[in-house]
Homo-oligomer: A and B are copies of this chain.
Amino acid sequence: MKYTEAKEELIQAWGNLGYSWGLNKTMAQIHALLMVSPRSLSTEEIMQELSISRGNANMNIRALLDWGIISRILIPGERKEYFKSEKDIWALARQVAKERRKRELEPILKVLREVNDVQSDGSDEAKELKRVVKDLKNFAEKSDGLLETFIKSEESWFWNVVLKIMK
């Protein structure tokens, strides 16, 4: 397989994976591009490589900065901004986990804690609801704890544990 072909396939594939991690397609592609690039790239170059508009590039670069998975590089003497991505995939996964926890898990935990106070009127429906809320809350809290552990973990430490699990 040729280099450019491989690069395009990878950007495409990583784009899909990123999408399933909760980024959008362009975000994930920009990220992939920065991943495979040995030097940091300017907005202009990103637009070019991915054939996207300035606005689109700008918005998604900002979103990536916001997620904390790429960073701005200022090159002395240059006015343009350059960007590079986090290249350690575990660090990236931890960062994504952190953001998703904030965006997705926290809101549902809040609702579950509220709904937990529902007064049962003794009906089957209310009893079932109470049971489900209890289970969900328990699940969500445990997931939250696990995520937190993962987010704070050192790669090597995490690895050792995972290997132990999978043995």
Contacts and interface: CB of A to CB of B under 8 A. Distances in A.
Contacts of A74: none
Interface of A is mostly: helix
A9 B129 CA distance: 11
A142 B114 contact: no
Interface string A21-59: 010000000000001111100000000000000000000
Nearest to A3: B126
Interface in A132-148: 132-133, 135-136, 139-140, 142, 145-146
A21 to B, nearest CB: 9
Contacts of A149: 165-166
A125 B38 contact: yes
Contacts of A14: 108, 136
Interface of A: 1-3, 6-7, 9-10, 12-14, 16-17, 20, 22, 35-39, 87, 89-90, 93, 100, 104-105, 107-108, 111-112, 114-115, 117-121, 123-129, 132-133, 135-136, 139-140, 142, 145-146, 149, 161-162, 164-166
A129 B16 contact: no
Give the 5 A-B CB pairs with smallest separation, nearest first: A6-B118, A13-B111, A38-B128, A20-B104, A38-B124
